[in-house]
Amino acid sequence: MADRRGDFGRRGEDAACAYLLRHGYSIVERNYRCRRGEIDIIAAKDGGAVFVEVKTRRSLKFGTPGMAVTYAKQQKIRTAALHYLQQCGGGYNKIAFDVIEIVADDGKAKLRHLQNCF
């Protein structure tokens, strides 16, 4: 069960990566982990870093995927991003936090890219 759920999420992240690549982003890192938290995708575009949280859902029964990115989750991503920026040696002229929502309902998936969320 746990694996299947993990699979579902990973497939969502794959789809998000494909989407970002199509839209002119380059993928810098996937599943960046540090002791402060995890970032699903770190992408880059026009010299800026974009930290992307991917949320994948099968239905809207419990609200939109984006609603699950609570304040606490946002803080975790922020600190993890800070951690990454200190490590990577700089070189970015701006940063952004995005959320990609994917709703996969009866074989059809819908993707929504929310920019500059927090």
Partner 1 sequence: MYAKTFGETVCGINGEEIIVEVDISNGLPGFDIVGLPDTAVKESRERVRASLKNSGLMFPMTRITVNLAPADLRKDGSSLDLPIAVGILTAAGSLLQEEAEGKIFVGELALDGSIRQVAGVLPMILYAREHGWREIYIPQGNAAEGELVDGIDVYTPASLSELVSHLKKRERLTPLPKIQFGTGTAGCGDVDFAEVRGQQVVKRALEIAAAGGHNVLMVGAPGSGKTMLARRLPTILPPMTEDEILEITKIYSIAGLLNGKKQLVLERPFRSPHHTVSASALIGGGSVPKPGEVTLSHNGVLFLDELPEFSRQALEVLRQPLEDGVVTISRVQASLSFPARLILITAQNPCPCGFLGDKVHSCTCRPHEIERYRRKISGPLLDRIDIQVTVPRLEYDDLKDKTEGESSAVIRSRVVKARGVQRKRFEGSGVHCNAQMNKKQLNKYCKLEPQAEAMLGKYFAALGLSARTHDRIVKVARTIADLEGSAAIKAAHIAEAIQLRTSVQR
Q: Which of 20, 99, 100, 103 binds partner 1 (CB under 8 A)?
A: 99
Query: Shortest Cβ distance from residue 68 to partner 1 (Å)?
Result: 10
From 12-20, 26-34, 82-90, 108-116, give the range in contact with partner 1 by CB under 8 A.
Answer: 108-116
Closer Cβ to partner 1, 93 or 116, answer by number: 116
Pairing of strands 94-105, 26-34: unpaired
Dihedral over alpha carbons 29, 48, 74, 65 (to 10 degrees)? -70
Q: Which of 31, 75, 86, 115 binds partner 1 (CB under 8 A)?
A: 115
**CB–CB of 77/51 below 8 Å?**
yes
Closer Cβ to partner 1, 49 or 114, answer by number: 114
Q: Which of 10, 15, 44, 64 binds partner 1 (CB under 8 A)?
A: 64
CA 79 from chain centre, in angstroms, equals 15
Dihedral over alpha carbons 85, 87, 91, 96 (to 10 degrees)? -20
Residues whose CB is less than 8 angstroms from the CB of residue 19 and which lie 6 or more positions away in sequence, other chains included:
100, 111, 113
From 6-14, 16-24, 62-70, 79-87, give the range in contact with partner 1 by CB under 8 A.
Answer: 62-70
| Contact status: 26 vs partner 1 (CB under 8 A) | no
What is the CA angle 107-9-103, rounded to 5? 40
Binding site for partner 1 (CB under 8 A): 63-64, 66-67, 69, 99, 114-118
